[in-house]
Amino acid sequence: MVKTINLKKTTKNDLIELIRKLKRQTDAQYFLQENGKPLAVLISQVEYERYREEQRLKAVARLQKVMSEIQADIPQDISEEEVERDVNEAIHEMRGVKC
The alpha carbon of 61 is separated from its chain's Cα centroid by a whole number of angstroms, namely: 12
Residue-wise pLDDT for 36-50, tens only, equals 999 999 999 999 999
Stated pTM of the model: 0.62
CA distances to 13, 27, 47, 70, 94 from 17, rounded to whole Å, are: 6, 16, 18, 51, 60
pLDDT at 97 over 80: no
Measured between its terminal Cα atoms, the distance across the chain in Å is 66
Residue-wise pLDDT for 60-96, tens only, equals 999 999 999 888 887 778 888 888 998 999 998 888 8
Q: Which pLDDT band holds residue 53 (cuts at 50, 70, 90)?
A: very high
For the chain, which residues make up each domain, given as ranges? 2-43, 48-95
